[in-house]
Structure 1
């Protein structure tokens, strides 16, 4: 178990990188402001990040998540076919390669999904202190077209910096981070003409959930969700205004 103070997870991951660590790193941080813990799993191969998520998933679950995000209607049937056809249904590489050959999901789309998941996980962990537990028994056999062995932190840093800049632009409307808690007056909800947006507000914005929590359960990018919230006036747990979009 490795304990690290606020803002020092980067240093801890860089040490794993330098040691060419392969396996799983279970990271849990304490978010004092919202009084909650945030846990993520990071999979490394020879020091490079190859996967990150809130919890471990099977190849079938991963394919389903990617298919859901891409609105692929046939993903369920395709996964069932793949389970029968591939030699090892527990292999991420075989599952994704089969779906790619079928033309269901392109390899580039799989890579883009996993890269985005890594970025989102790191972004939600980096500002805080917590603990990291390593496990060398886990293997993740999926390789990528443009980054065969995964990503070093230096590969990810520009994307994280760009997102930090975008988050800072939202502080002027009361969204300090993904830990902001959006609130909206019920009367304002009834004024929203878009049905999907109205349903989203009624279901998820209850004055207690953070943007990060809403993004997690609705499978959305917290930054994009925050930008959407910035187009319809409401308020967060700060006194400054937040807005919510007419389209979610």
Structure 2
């Protein structure tokens, strides 16, 4: 690996845990200056410490246009620029039949997964120049439908369509957009991990490599997609799932 991110300003949503935290640690180790947001103050504080401290952190509900606009403005005021954006904030699924899915559940997933990605993207674009980029988080369930997770699948497939349109619209300006689709990753909010040993076993058996992915393995791919080594990738959908059976 030959790339670094010295002096680069990187915005990460969902930075308090899981993939967001691991990516923050990866990029900070490569010299990036981070702007981290989440709804968990405690988690953000811990991530900042793990990244050596001194990074910009803020409590932000990405589903709120006002909060996102203020945060992005604060980021640019603090760093004087914005180089890369990692749209990682998201709500993991709960298994519901369609007829028992509530308005509240719909709103929670749509507002965070879809509207949140849109809000951060829209607010960031005016501050980006040629050479800057986005990485947006979808899921294997954005590519592969699953019963009783229709709303989650909708939000994650929506991110793919939205991101591909971003790539076409922003590509001529030298701003790239790529999408990652993680599989079964060992994060605190993964539904199988929450279930415990039996849920983890089922996920492990569903992957060709026979184990869950680690957040750090996702972070490695995100760093590559932000780097110049991926400079001809735009609108790409990258599956990171260990081989789902």
Which structure has the larger Rg over C-alpha atoms?
A: 1
Bin of the TM-score, shorter chain as denominator length: under 0.3
